[in-house]
C-alpha cells in the first residue's frame, strides 16, 4: 500500500525540492526509483543543520566511524553533481570506487528527484542514488563544524533492508578549490 501511495504521488507530480530562496522545483516526469520505506521514520526528533551544495563542492571527507581501520578506509569527495566514494580494503589491498548522483534537500525525501542534482540548494538532508539498483538513500545532516572539520550524518535504514540506524562521523581532509559561503 505504501508503494502505491508513492507511485500515486509521483504521477500527481508532488515531487519537489526547495531552493535556498524557497522556490520549488517540480518534476513529475522523473523516473521513479526504489525508495526507502519512510513510514516508520522518527526523524522529527533529530536536530539537524542546513548545508548548501556550494559548501560541499570540492571537499573530501574520511569516514571515521563506523569503520574498521584494520579492514578498510572510506572517503567521500563531493562535486557539484556526484559523491565519489572510495573504499580501500586493507586485507585485500583493493580499492573500490562508487559514484552517486546526489543533492541537498530542505524537505524530507520520499523519491529521488533527478532535476535537483547539481542545483545549489540548502537543506538538512543529503539524498543520493545508487544507480545500479535504482535505490535512493537519504541522510540527515546532524552536524557540520567547519572549524574542526567534523561532519555527522544520520541514516535510518528502511524497513525493507537489513541493518541498523547509524550515525556516520566524517573528518574533513581536503577543502579543494571551493569557496565556502558565510552566513
pLDDT of 73-102, one tens digit each?
A: 999 999 999 999 999 998 889 999 999 999
Output the pLDDT for position 67.
76
**CATH entry, 47-173, from 3.40.50, 1.10.150, 2.40.128, 1.10.3470:** 2.40.128
Beta bridge partners of 168: 153
Q: Where are the domains of the chain?
A: 47-173
Q: Is pLDDT at 27 greater than 70 in this prediction?
A: no
Output the pLDDT for position 59.
97
**DSSP notation for 122-154:** EESEEEEEETTTTEEEEEEEEEEETTTTEEEEE
Output the pLDDT for position 177.
58
Q: For the whole model, what pTM was predicted?
A: 0.72
Output the pLDDT for position 87.
94
Q: What pLDDT digit, counting tens, does each position of 28-71 carry?
A: 334 344 344 443 344 444 578 999 999 999 999 999 998 766 77
| Selection from 42, 10, 47 nearest residue 27 by Cα | 10
Amino acid at each position: 500500500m505504501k508503494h502505491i501511495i508513492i507511485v500515486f504521488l509521483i504521477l500527481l507530480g508532488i515531487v519537489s525540492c526547495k531552493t535556498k530562496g524557497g522556490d520549488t522545483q517540480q518534476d513529475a516526469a522523473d523516473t521513479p526509483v526504489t525508495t526507502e520505506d519512510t513510514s516508520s521514520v522518527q526523524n522529527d526528533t533529530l536536530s539537524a543543520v542546513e548545508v548548501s551544495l556550494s559548501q560541499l563542492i570540492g571537499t573530501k571527507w574520511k569516514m571515521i566511524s563506523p569503520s574498521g581501520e584494520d579492514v578498510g578506509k572510506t572517503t567521500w569527495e563531493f562535486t557539484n553533481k556526484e559523491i565519489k566514494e572510495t573504499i580501500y580494503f586493507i586485507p585485500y589491498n583493493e580499492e573500490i570506487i562508487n559514484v552517486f548522483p546526489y543533492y541537498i534537500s530542505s524537505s524530507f525525501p520520499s523519491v529521488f528527484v533527478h532535476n535537483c542534482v547539481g542545483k545549489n540548494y540548502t537543506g538538512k538532508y543529503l539524498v543520493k542514488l545508487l544507480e545500479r539498483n535504482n535505490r535512493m538513500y537519504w541522510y540527515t545532516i546532524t552536524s557540520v563544524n567547519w572549524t574542526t572539520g567534523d561532519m555527522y550524518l544520520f541514516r535510518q535504514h528502511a524497513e525493507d533492508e537489513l541493518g541498523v540506524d547509524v550515525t556516520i562521523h566524517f573528518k574533513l581532509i581536503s577543502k579543494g578549490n571551493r569557496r565556502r559561503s558565510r552566513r
